């Protein structure tokens, strides 16, 4: 039982080490894409949380009201794509370095 726990702990520590190695490669080589994606996700979430619909009795529609349905969706999708592609490339580099 003790050996099984030690092996599981070793496997988890090895997996965590690989994840940290991947994160280091992502930040080292693809930092712009990674942080741009995170910034876009934060922007989309902030816009979604702070949006107030334009009242119906106003003679115009605000820019935020015009952009609301699609801006957070598109920004979130592009942000996720940026983060995922940077992570995937870092994963490939870490895998190649692990051999």
98 pLDDT band (50/70/90 cuts)? low
- Per-residue pLDDT tens for 28-85? 888 888 999 999 999 888 887 876 666 667 666 666 667 777 888 888 899 999 999 9
Domain ranges for the chain: 31-50+61-99
CA atoms within 13 A on the CB side of 64: 11
Report the C-alpha gap between 31 and 87 in whole angstroms: 10
The sign of the torsion formed by the CA atoms of 28, 29, 32, 36 equals negative
pTM: 0.67
Over residues 9-15, the mean pLDDT reads 69
Res. 26: pLDDT tops 70: yes
Look at residue 39 in the predicted model and tell me its pLDDT: 92
Are the C-beta atoms of 85 and 36 separated by less than 8 Å?
no
Look at residue 38 in the predicted model and tell me its pLDDT: 92
């Amino acid at each position: 039982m003790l050996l099984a726990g030690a092996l599981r702990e070793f496997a988890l520590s090895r997996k965590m080490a690989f994840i940290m190695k991947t994160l280091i490669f992502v930040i080292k080589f693809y930092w712009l894409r990674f942080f741009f994606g995170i910034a876009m996700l934060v922007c989309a979430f902030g816009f979604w949380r702070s949006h107030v619909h334009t009242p119906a009795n106003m003679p115009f529609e605000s820019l935020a009201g015009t952009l609301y349905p699609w801006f957070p969706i598109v920004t979130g999708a592009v942000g996720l794509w940026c983060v995922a592609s940077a992570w995937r490339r870092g994963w490939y580099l870490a895998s190649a370095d692990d051999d």
